[in-house]
Amino acid sequence: MDREIQFSLIYRDMWQSSGKYQPRVDQLKQIAPVIVEMGCFGRVETNGGAFEQVNLLYGENPNIAVRAFTEPFNKAGIRTHMLDRGLNGLRMFPVPADVRKMMYQVKRAQGVDITRIFCGLNDTRNIIPSIEYAKAGGMIPQAALCITHSPIHTVDYYINLAMKLIEAGAEEICLKDMAGIGRPYSIGQIIKGIKKKHPNIVVQYHGHTGPGFSVASMMAAAENGVDILDVAIEPLSWGMVHPDVITIQAMLKDAGYKVADINMDAYMEARRLTQCFIDDFLGFFIDPGNKIMTSLLVGCGLPGGMMGSMMSDLKGIHNAINLALRQQGKKEMTLNSLLVQLFREVESIWPMLGYPPLVTPFSQYVKNIALMNIYCAAKNEPRFSMIDKDAWNMILGKTGKLPGELAPEIVALAKENGLEFYDGNPQDAFPDELEKYAEEMKINGWEEGPDREELFEFAMHDRQYRDYKSGAAKNRFNQELEQAKEKAKAPIIVKRPVIEIPMFNFEEIVANYPNAKPVHAPCKGQVIWQYDLMDASTAPFEGATVNPKDNLCYIQNYYGIEPVQIGYGGTVVGTYVKQGDQVQKGEILAFIN
């Protein structure tokens, strides 16, 4: 057998699946020539997804980073590719059509060859426009199938989805197995079905290693015609990331496939440099749990890349759940038992929510609902009592069509809350906005940059871009880094439970105000009580009267700045965090009576 299979180094996703930040531009300049020298990669994933936001969170320019990272690969003839969230572009929520169109012109000018377009719901209405925009911008459109395992997500389902996307102009297909739960046999059959009808279409397989199927899946993919496999390198291979290129190359070589040799001297240098980046500062933001594989993911199907943040969420709400259990006279839960209960709850509610593939951002929505269900159960409150607005948008169809049917009780709950289902084209709900941002740049005296790339960045990530321009982002990152360094120096101590936070006594609040309702952190991050670029200049204080739509505070998280809407009318009777505090998702920030 002499069929050639190429490797793509998923350098961006290696970091994305490990921790919070990506390497800086100076580090990318160091590693790129060494990756070229390794000689075994036909492609490298250089940007997309969270890459641009991370640079803005550093207080640095992402456009400079993309151009600098792609340049050595362009010169060496190695294809570069990016991750593209379709309707959401490079962020976590929908993007106006004119900004989506502009993205491909900008990224092609910056040296990116291929865009991997996916929709977390596999809704072709969110993918096909991006195929058209990518072609118009001079990029190769690679359409992704978000792989999961359910009664709906069959081999035929994925083959038919691929046929629609190829008919719409997709030049390549990617099997995006983001949780690594695609079963090897089915992965092979999907590729076989695609190749049978379109033998010349390029098929790439992307499989995370979390639950342990990925190596077998790659072998099945190879046996059924895959062209390119996504791989990683040490020290960020395996765990929740991707298989290492050494293992996959040896496996395929033994099976008789034509694969590139690896320059091991260059591999060891790339390994050394990557470890240096970890030691420099990136390691402060890598969760150790993401270096471990776990078969617990097989059942719930959550993507490995979110395991670190999920454990933080659990730790943040663990004390609140146990307090509620104590008040109900019930047995408290250990963190491990809470983890198992969360996985079971995800398995239980996933079919009820229409089987959305568990990929960003829908994996977060389903996990959030499951976690709040557990908390509500601890308080003897009904299931689905706490669903956030983003999860409701998914349920109501505002971000695309769910693959399966909603459970009758979810439909009834929507009607009880006066919510309307949406069956229109998701893009239609988000009108063009580019000229608005162009006008603001003119007023601020900001340059639009080469190929109008600065205008694009502003329109795609407006809040983060303003912070970058003002210097607030760099100051905030430097502060966060110093705190992380100090924490690393500190002796290991048992974390104080929430009830010991000194600003207000937790149990005293509950005793004095039995009807008080908690305001939870919607995400992990740094608390900002006063933020001059937002619509609130001061934060609510104890005794303040608030409305449901008021913002309690803001949280600087991985993807930007998230307002914390109070959700209740009443009086603030207790707050638990200070300016600059790091909080976990689900942690109680305040009580409203």
Q: Where are the domains of the chain?
A: 6-290, 433-489, 499-593
C-alpha to C-alpha distance for 398 and 456, rounded to whole angstroms: 24
Domain over 499-593 is classified CATH 2.40.50.100: yes
C-alpha to C-alpha distance for 262 and 249, rounded to whole angstroms: 8
What are the Cα distances from residue 83, in Å, to 1, 168, 206, 283, 435?
A: 32, 19, 12, 23, 25
Cis preceding-peptide flag for 243 (omega within 30 of 0):
no
C-alpha to C-alpha distance for 539 and 332, rounded to whole angstroms: 34
C-alpha to C-alpha distance for 530 and 537, rounded to whole angstroms: 6
Q: Under CATH, which number does the domain 6-290 receive?
A: 3.20.20.70
Is the pTM here over 0.75, yes or no? Answer: yes
What are the Cα distances from residue 145, in Å, to 34, 206, 225, 354, 365?
A: 31, 10, 16, 17, 20
Q: Answer yes or no: is pLDDT of 105 > 60.
A: yes
Q: How many residues does the chain have?
A: 593
C-alpha to C-alpha distance for 459 and 438, rounded to whole angstroms: 8
Contact 15, 21 (CB under 8 A): yes
pLDDT band at 150 (very low <50, low <70, confident <90, very high): very high
Question: Which tens digit of pLDDT belongs to each residue from 504-530?
Answer: 455 566 667 777 788 888 777 777 764
Cis preceding-peptide flag for 450 (omega within 30 of 0):
no
C-alpha to C-alpha distance for 224 and 247, rounded to whole angstroms: 19
pLDDT band at 558 (very low <50, low <70, confident <90, very high): low
Element (H, E) at 187: helix 184-197
pLDDT band at 395 (very low <50, low <70, confident <90, very high): very high
Contact 70, 488 (CB under 8 A): no
Question: Which tens digit of pLDDT belongs to each residue from 311-324?
Answer: 667 777 888 888 88
Given this model, what pLDDT does residue 522 score?
79
C-alpha to C-alpha distance for 96 and 247, rounded to whole angstroms: 42
Which structure tokens are listed for 471? 């210097």
Q: What count of Cα atoms within 13 Å lies in the side-chain half-sphere of residue 158?
A: 29
Amino acid at 276: C
For 41: left if phi > 0, alpha if psi spans -120 to 50, otherwise beta; the answer is: beta
What are the Cα distances from residue 418, in Å, to 222, 367, 368, 392?
A: 50, 24, 22, 12
pLDDT band at 501 (very low <50, low <70, confident <90, very high): very low
Helices (H), 59-116: 62-76, 97-109
C-alpha to C-alpha distance for 537 and 510, rounded to whole angstroms: 29
β-strands 202-207, 560-565 pairing: unpaired
Given this model, what pLDDT does residue 141 score?
98
Amino acid at 358: L
Which structure tokens are listed for 43? 């492609």
Question: Which tens digit of pLDDT belongs to each residue from 531-554?
Answer: 333 333 344 456 678 888 777 887
Which structure tokens are listed for 126? 């969110």
C-alpha to C-alpha distance for 21 and 54, rounded to whole angstroms: 6
240 φ, ψ to 5°? Answer: -95, 10
Contact 7, 41 (CB under 8 A): yes
pLDDT band at 400 (very low <50, low <70, confident <90, very high): very high
400 φ, ψ to 5°? Answer: 140, 170
C-alpha to C-alpha distance for 356 and 372, rounded to whole angstroms: 18
